[in-house]
A and B are shown apart, each in its own frame.
Chain A
């Protein structure tokens, strides 16, 4: 009989009809064993592995290659998908403004928050930045400003101004992401179809404004919180738009991918495919695949997390965005823990808030976001002391990449719970998107949905455990690889130098694991409607 530790003392004992059960002990023990093995491996192994450019262009895969070439040669499929997404988007707006206010019965809230927002993060792993290519905000803005869905218009509307220098970073996108999270979790947009529709309209206005005033697609490049999140997460995806033959790009002097041609728009985010090393700003728009005279651009399959393990160096603003992602994903988890409401009420009371709890929520949100950032700064400072690295900013940026797999894997593990447990009944909402005549969810319906996830519960737990382990494992590899490239003069001191960052990675992973162990409040059903 093998003795296994019992972690129930770490679990908040709360059960109710609207709580998702947490990760059982058996999976917790497996994750802990895997983490110990990972730390042992990284400390005992002498040389970090050399990471080169690997992978294969899908255009060169037998059988599938022909299909990929045909798909990239014609924009018909892309345009069709854009139109389908646009149609869904317009229905979401109409349903949000005119449909039932019951969130579980209205397509606006169900499709936006339960299916799209929860599923998008999972989809990034499989299709990279493909969502940006069919994004309805951009499609609508393009139709309004340029009057075209895809092809170039010679005398299109638009001032084509350069984005002011202070805004040329991902800071605006980070601020918008923080604002979106505040609206989502603090104001409760997820349970309000009307406000969901207003938010959708606001994004269309911002995308249109940006396209009409600035050159190319400044909204996608600098302002869009969803696009930038997708872009950074896609660095871990095994799929990316890349040259089929890098040598052809190396010899190219015309750079149609960057400038466009008579028929095709230039790259909306100022990228040159031949020099593309990271997915962050690629929107998979298809312009380069259409404009390349050598038909040398297609989807590429590559090892998972190749980008973050290679020599990509994030800028300061990008490093802060990565930290923001980590803080916001953890914060999402914290707000769905059983004690969150009590904390918010407590802080609100302490602040003397007379109406509502929004100030209390905002203070706690700021504090929750500050904790991982301060821990990271502490780890980097100690690492700098140990290594004597003079370029503190370079160390800060490089190490931030280790937070990306932690945030991404926890985000998927958290979202998968929402998706498989809360998307029940979506087909009935699709059949009646406005929820005409629909009654609020009854207690029995809530109970049935809760007991019948889309996949078996044990499979869900296994996936969550594997994701936390994968995030930890990738983060440890990033720490080792990045630090090794920064302390080349003293390879013997690498093990000691890694310790602060390894400790940081372990603390974040253990916290994420602990959050998954807790019963989680269901997103929409926690404040749902029912019949008496």
Chain B
């Protein structure tokens, strides 16, 4: 009995050790064309549709191939959307230039697939546009390429605060000097 329990325990350990494998392949060998890639998934609702958006890889790097998948189904009856979807991309910042079209796709097994390669790190918005029942639909999905630098905002904050404190210190000293001078003049007059 004890041997069987030990064997069962070892088997369980074995299953645990293989948990990072998907369908017998190690996770690190997956790419955007795999059937079960690790990805970022966003679910949202827009108008009469549920939208499921997936990006592979979840956090892409510059010059790395990636792909977004979009699945749209009508809330009322669950029927997948069958028209064309146009994908656009723009910088995720204020006063960004106009978005750039990256492709118009037909559904492939009810899923709209759009590949991408970003050359520069940063925050972007991928927009999916389509027409349904005579109404235009626009869905925005944020995507970050590469890692943000923590030094930038921290550095700016430190510089702003140091400049502020130094300026206040200088003004305070000048004000004290002026006060001492005027006091000195007043004493001389008396």
Contacts and interface: CB of A to CB of B under 8 A. Distances in A.
A50 to B, nearest CB: 51
15 contacts: A14-B45, A145-B168, A194-B148, A197-B153, A205-B157, A205-B161, A212-B164, A342-B46, A345-B47, A349-B138, A354-B98, A355-B88, A440-B41, A527-B42, A532-B41
Contact of B138 (A101, A144, A357): A357
B25 to A, nearest CB: 15
Given A201-B157, A355-B99, A532-B36, A101 B144 contact: yes
B90 A355 contact: yes
Interface in B140-164: 140, 142, 144, 148, 150, 153-154, 157, 160-161, 164
A213 interface: yes
A169 interface: no
Interface residues of A, number: 47
Contacts of A158: 168, 172
Contacts of A529: 40-42, 58
A14 B75 contact: yes
Nearest to B39: A532
B18 interface: no
Given A439-B38, A527-B43, 10 more contacts: A18-B43, A97-B153, A158-B172, A194-B148, A198-B153, A212-B164, A355-B99, A357-B138, A526-B44, A532-B56
Interface string B12-36: 0000000000000000000000001
A201 B138 contact: no
Nearest to A441: B41
Interface string B163-187: 0110011011001000000000000
Contacts of A526: 43-44
Contacts of A194: 148
A205 B156 CA distance: 10
B82 interface: no
B72 interface: no
Interface string B73-88: 0010000000000001
Contacts, number: 109
Contact of A530 (B41, B59, B96, B125): B41
The 6 A-B residue pairs whose C-beta atoms are closest, nearest first, are A97-B150, A530-B41, A212-B168, A98-B150, A532-B39, A201-B157
Interface in A418-456: 439-440, 443
Contacts of A443: 41
B54 interface: yes
B137 interface: yes
A439 B37 CA distance: 13
B118 interface: no
A373 interface: no
B169 A157 contact: yes
A101 B59 contact: yes
The SS class assigned to the B binding surface is mixed
B136 to A, nearest CB: 6
Contacts of B127: 355
A112 to B, nearest CB: 16
Contacts of A192: 142
Given A349-B136, A355-B98, A531 B41 contact: yes
Contacts of A356: 90, 125, 140
A338 interface: yes
Nearest to B171: A159
A80 to B, nearest CB: 25
Given A145-B165, A198-B153, A213-B168, A341 B99 contact: no
Nearest to A101: B144
A171 interface: no
Given A16-B45, A157-B169, A354 B58 contact: no
B42 to A, nearest CB: 6
Given A97-B150, A101-B144, A157-B168, A532 B38 contact: yes
B140 A357 contact: yes
B160 to A, nearest CB: 6
Which of the listed residues B43, B50, B88, B169 has the most CB atoms from chain A within 10 Å of its own CB?
B43
A17 B39 contact: no
A241 B172 CA distance: 35
A212 B58 contact: no
B43 A341 contact: no
A277 interface: no
A341 B154 contact: no
B44 A157 contact: no
A343 to B, nearest CB: 10
Contacts of B161: 144, 204-205, 208
A365 B45 CA distance: 20
Contacts of B98: 354-355
A204 B161 CA distance: 9
A97 to B, nearest CB: 4
B105 to A, nearest CB: 18
A291 interface: no
